[in-house]
A and B are shown apart, each in its own frame.
Chain A
Amino acid sequence: MISSTAIAHLKEKLGDANVLHEKEDLLTLGYDSTPGVHHLPEVVVYPTSSEQVVAAMEIAEREGLPLTPRGSGTGLSGGSVPVKGGMVLCLTRMNRILEIDEENLTATAEAGVITLDLFNAVAAKGLFYPPDPGSQKISTLGGNVAENAGGLRGLKYGVTRDYVMALKGVLADRSLIATGGKSVKDVAGYGFKDLLVGSEGTLGIITEITVKLIPPPQDKRTILAYFDDVRTAGEAVSRIIAAKIIPSTMEIMDRAVINCVEDYVKIGLPRQMAALLLIEVDGHPAPVAEEAAGVRKILEEVKAAEIHVARDAEHAAGLAAARRTALSALARVSPTTLLEDATVPRSRLAETFGEIERLREKYQLKVGTFGHAGDGNLHPTVLCDERDHDEMARAHAFYNELYEQVLAWGGTVSGEHGIGLAKKEYLARQIGPGGVQVMKRIKQTFDPQGLLNPGKIFDEGDPCTKAHVEEGFRVSH
C-alpha cells in the first residue's frame, strides 16, 4: 500500500482535491471502455501543470509505484487500465485551450482538452481540426495523440498523427521535453515527436499539444446508401476508391448495428436492410458535385437497394452522430460487447465481410460490424455474455481466425485503437519477434526502469519494482 506520507506529499504538491485514494475512487478509475479489464490503482492524481506532473512522478518513483497516464478512459484496448496498480495520472484537469494561432493555422492545448471542445473552439474562428474519433465528445487530445486516434474523416484527412505539429511532455527521467514546432517544415534530428504519437503512454506523459488546422471545406454532400447484402456494400467501397474518388467519410454499418442505433436515435433507419453506407464528399463546390455524381453512379452500378441524399446540414450531422453511437448502442443487445479493430487493404473489404460472416456461423456468435470502411478499418463486434465461458472461448477463436486471415491479406490488428492489453499477442504475430525486440529497445531507452504504463503493448520481463493487483480484478479478455 502507498504510504500515508506519500499521500500527504502528493496533497501538498497537487492540492487535496487533486489526489484521490478512497476505495470508491480507485474502483472508478481502474477501467476504460475495454470489456473485462479492471485493476485498482493505489492512488489517482490530477495534475494541473507540467510541474505537478513532475512532482507526482518523483513521488511515484520514490514509492516504487508504476505510473499509468489516463485521459477520459474511452480507450478500447485497455491502455489506461493500471494493470500493475500504482499511480494513475489523470490529465482531465489540464483542460485549457492555450492558443489558436490564426496566422500560422495552429492550435495549442493542454492534453486534457476534450476533442470536440477543440474542434468547436477552432470552428468558431472559421478553422477546421479534422480528426474526429467516434468518442470525440468525451476523449481527450492527449488520449488521441497517445493512441493516434482515427475517426470518421480519416479517409480523406488522415489521423491524429497527421495534425500533431509539436508536443510538450515529461519523460520517465522527469525531464521536460518539447519536440516539433509551428514550422511546417522541420527535419532537425530524429522525428521523436512521431514516436510519441501512438506510444500509448509508455514513453512519456504528454502535457501540451500543438495541432495543425486547415480551412474548412466550402461544400459538402452526404449520401446514404442501403444494401441487401453487406458484401455489395464492401464492393461499392472498393470501386469508389478504385475510381480515384476520395470521399471525406465512408462509414459502414451492418443490419445488427443499424437496428441497435435505430433503437437509440429513432430517426427511421431501415431495419430490414443488410448494410448502410454513409458517404460524405467535401471540398470546393464544383469537384464536390462531380464526385457526388461519381459516387452515385457507382452505387447504382453495384445495385444499391436505395440511395438518398441528406436533406440539409442538420440531417447530415444527425446521421454522422448516429454512426458515432454505433458501438455503445450495440451494448443494448447483450451484457458484453467485444470489439475488434481489424483493418485490411481496401480492395479486400468485400472478402472481409464474407470472412466475418463465415466465422460468425462457424462459431455461432452474434456479431455486429461497423467501421471506417473507406480506410478498410472494420470493427467486428461480438455480442456476448462474459458469464458464459463457452461463448467467450468461441469469441476468442473467432477473432483469432479472423486476424489470421487479415494478416495474410496484409492487414493490421489495429487501425486506431492501439495494442494496450487487449492485443499484445496479435501484435507479436503481426510484427514478429524482431519487431517486438526493436520496440522493447525503444522503450528501454525512454524508460529504463519500466515505470511508465507497464504491461502495455508487449509483455516485459517485469521491470516494475512493485506490483499491486487487487484480488478479484483480473484480465479476462
Chain B
Amino acid sequence: MSHTEPLGNFKSEDAPHYDDVLQCMRCGFCLPTCPTYALTGRERSSPRGRVALARAVAEKKLEFTPAIKEEAFFCLDCRACTSACPSGVRAGEVMEVCRSQAHAFYPLGKMGKAFREFILQKMVPSPDLLETSMLPTRLYQRLGIQWLVRHLKVLKLGPEWMEKAEGMLPRLEKPLRPQLPLLTPARGEKRGKVGFFLGCVMTLMYPNVSRNTVRVLSHQGFEVVTPRETKCCGAPHLSEGDRETARQLALFNLDLFLAQDVDYIVTDCAGCGAALKEYEELLEERAEHDRLARFRSKIRDVSEFLMEVGLRTEGLQEITASVTYHEPCHLCHAQGISAQPRRIIRQIPGVELREMAEASWCCGSAATWGLKYAEDSRKVLDRKLENVKASGAEILVTANPGCQLQLAWGVREASLPQDVLHLMELLGRALPPD
C-alpha cells in the first residue's frame, strides 16, 4: 500500500501504489456502503471518487490539493468499501496513505505541530505518560477542571467537539495495565498459552472490559501473558497520517510479542486487531518477511479466537436478555470477522440475538472523526440508533472501545433504554463467579 518511489504528483514517501488505484473499474458497488457518500451525495466523497482523485494525482492530472486533503480526512476509514468491492480495491487504505501525504504537502503551524508531536510521538507511545495524563481527567471528572478539554483543543478539532468529548467520557477508573498480572493462570483443563494485547483506550477507558477478556480467556483454559511494556498499536498515528511513529511502535510490539512464548496474540479491541494484522504491510521494508508472517499468523480478535478454539459453554450461567449486535468497522470490514461474535452471543444460555438492520453500518465514531465532524457523526449515529431502537433488544453489544464510547453516549443522549456492552462484558456476566 505504500511506496517509496515518487509517483506522479505525490511526494515520494508513503504514496499509494499505482496498481492499487488502477484496480478500480468504477462499477460503483461501493457507493451504497459509504457513510460519507450517504452524507453528501457527492461523488468525490465516495470510495470510487476518492480512488479517482488519488489516480489523478498519480497521473499528474491534479495537484495534491486541499480538497484531496479534506477527502482523506473526511473518509472514516471504515473500510465498508473494502468489503463491498468485488475488485479488491481498498479505498480507505488509499486515503489513509493520503493522510500522511497531506502532512507532507500542508505542514501544520508551529503550535499545532508541537502539540501533535507531543501527543502522537510522546504521550501516546508511552504507556506511563498516557496513564498519568489521564489522571487529571479523572480529577476533572471529580473536580470539574476543564483540563482535557483545553489540551485537546490544540489538535485543531472542530468547535462542537468539546461538549461531545466531555459527554462521551465514561466515568474513569484506574488504568488497567498496572493491575493486570503478567501471567494469569488457566482455569480447568489447560488448552494453551496466549499473549494478550491490551489497547490504550481499553486500559484507560474500559478497564472493566479487558479485565473480563482476561477472565474469559483464563476460564476457557488459557494461560494469559500480558506484557507490561506493550505500546500503542499505532492505529491513532495511521489515522492522523503519522506513519513513521506508527512504524516505530509496530517494530517495538513486533519484537516484544515475538519474544513471548505464546501460541496466539489476542486482543479485544477491533481497532488494535486491525492495526496488528496490517503490520505486515506497514513494515514491508522494515522487518524480515518471515518474522512478519509469524506475527501475523498469531493475531486474533478474541471472538475469532474463541470460535476457532471452540467455546466451552459448560458452567456458563443463564442471562435472560435480548441482545442486538453492532459490528465495529474494524472487525467486520477490516478483519472480515462477522459471524463469530454472533455465534458467541447465541451460545450464551438464555440470550436471544435480535439482528438490527444495517448492523455493519458505521456508528460514526471512527477515532477522532466523530469529534472533528461532530455534526456529521451525529447523523451517522442517528441512523444507527434508529436501527437499534427498531430491534427492540434490551442490550446493545459491540466489540470495539470507540464504538462503545460513541454508542453509549448516543443511547444516553437519546434516552434509549439499552445497556451498551462489549461482547466480553456480556460473556463475562455469564461466567461463574471467580
User: What residues of chain A have their CB less than 8 Å away from a CB belonging to chain B?
Assistant: 20, 22-25, 27-29, 31-33, 35, 46, 72-74, 92-93, 114, 135, 137-139, 260-261, 263-264, 325, 327-332, 335-337, 472-473
B28: interface (CB < 8 Å) = yes
Residue on A with the closest CB to B26?
A33
Residue on B with the closest CB to A76?
B27
Q: What DSSP secondary structure best describes chain B's contact surface? A: loop
Interface digits, B41-74 against A, CB 8 Å rule (1 contact, 0 not)? 1111010110011001001011001011001000
Residues on the A chain within 8 Å of B27, using CB: 33, 74, 135, 138, 327-328, 331
Cross-chain contact B52 with A23 (CB below 8 angstroms): no
Residues on the B chain within 8 Å of A336, using CB: 22
Residues on the A chain within 8 Å of B87, using CB: 328-332
Known: A328-B87, A332-B23, A472-B61. A28 touches B28 (CB 8 A): no
Cross-chain contact A24 with B67 (CB below 8 angstroms): yes
B25: interface (CB < 8 Å) = yes
| CA distance in complex: A296, B46 (Å) | 44
Residues on the B chain within 8 Å of A328, using CB: 25, 27, 29, 85-87
Residues on the B chain within 8 Å of A263, using CB: 88
Cross-chain contact B23 with A325 (CB below 8 angstroms): no
Residues on the B chain within 8 Å of A25, using CB: 42-44
The smallest beta-carbon distance between A149 and chain B, in angstroms, is: 14
Cross-chain contact B49 with A28 (CB below 8 angstroms): yes
Residues on the A chain within 8 Å of B217, using CB: none
Interface centre among A22, A33, A93, A337 (most CB of B within 10 A): A33
Interface digits, B287-300 against A, CB 8 Å rule (1 contact, 0 not)? 00000000000000
Cross-chain contact A137 with B29 (CB below 8 angstroms): yes
Q: Bin chain B's interface residue count.
A: 20 to 34
Residues on the B chain within 8 Å of A332, using CB: 23, 86-88
The smallest beta-carbon distance between B261 and chain A, in angstroms, is: 33
| CA distance in complex: A25, B145 (Å) | 45
Q: What DSSP secondary structure best describes chain A's contact surface? A: loop
| CA distance in complex: A138, B29 (Å) | 7
| CA distance in complex: A46, B41 (Å) | 10
Cross-chain contact B65 with A24 (CB below 8 angstroms): yes
Q: What are 17 of the A-B contact pairs (CB < 8 Å)?
A: A24-B53, A25-B44, A27-B62, A32-B26, A73-B26, A74-B27, A114-B32, A137-B32, A138-B31, A139-B28, A260-B86, A261-B86, A264-B86, A325-B29, A327-B27, A331-B23, A332-B88
Cross-chain contact B44 with A35 (CB below 8 angstroms): no
User: What residues of chain B have their CB less than 8 Å away from a CB belonging to chain A?
Assistant: 19, 22-29, 31-32, 41-44, 46, 48-49, 52-53, 56, 59, 61-62, 65, 67-68, 71, 85-88
| CA distance in complex: A46, B27 (Å) | 21
Given contacts A31-B26, A137-B32, A327-B27, could you give 14 more A-B pairs where the C-beta distance is less than 8 Å?
A: A24-B65, A28-B49, A33-B25, A33-B26, A73-B28, A135-B27, A138-B27, A138-B28, A138-B29, A138-B32, A260-B86, A325-B86, A331-B86, A335-B23
Say which residue of A35, A46, A73, A137 sits within 8 Å of B25 (CB atoms): A35
Residue on A with the closest CB to B68?
A24
Residues on the A chain within 8 Å of B67, using CB: 22-24
Interface centre among A27, A29, A32, A138 (most CB of B within 10 A): A27
Cross-chain contact A335 with B28 (CB below 8 angstroms): no
The smallest beta-carbon distance between B347 and chain A, in angstroms, is: 22
Closest 3 CB pairs of A and B: A331-B87, A328-B86, A28-B49
Residue on A with the closest CB to B51?
A28
Say which residue of A23, A32, A46, A264 sits within 8 Å of B88 (CB atoms): A264
Say which residue of A27, A138, A139 sits within 8 Å of B61 (CB atoms): A27
Cross-chain contact A93 with B41 (CB below 8 angstroms): yes
The smallest beta-carbon distance between B178 and chain A, in angstroms, is: 43
Cross-chain contact B26 with A72 (CB below 8 angstroms): no
| CA distance in complex: A307, B10 (Å) | 52
| CA distance in complex: A327, B44 (Å) | 23
| CA distance in complex: A59, B218 (Å) | 71
The smallest beta-carbon distance between B101 and chain A, in angstroms, is: 15
| CA distance in complex: A32, B48 (Å) | 10
Interface centre among B27, B31, B44, B62 (most CB of A within 10 A): B27
Cross-chain contact A27 with B29 (CB below 8 angstroms): no
| CA distance in complex: A337, B27 (Å) | 11
Residue on B with the closest CB to A22?
B67
| CA distance in complex: A336, B61 (Å) | 19
Residue on A with the closest CB to B65?
A24
| CA distance in complex: A264, B23 (Å) | 14
Known: A331-B86, A331-B87. A24 touches B44 (CB 8 A): yes
Residue on B with the closest CB to A471?
B61
Residues on the A chain within 8 Å of B68, using CB: 24
Residue on B with the closest CB to A18?
B41
Residue on B with the closest CB to A263?
B88
Residues on the A chain within 8 Å of B31, using CB: 72, 138
Say which residue of A20, A27, A335, A473 sits within 8 Å of B42 (CB atoms): A20
Residue on A with the closest CB to B67?
A24
Known: A331-B23, A337-B25. A28 touches B43 (CB 8 A): yes
| CA distance in complex: A263, B87 (Å) | 9
Cross-chain contact B25 with A28 (CB below 8 angstroms): no
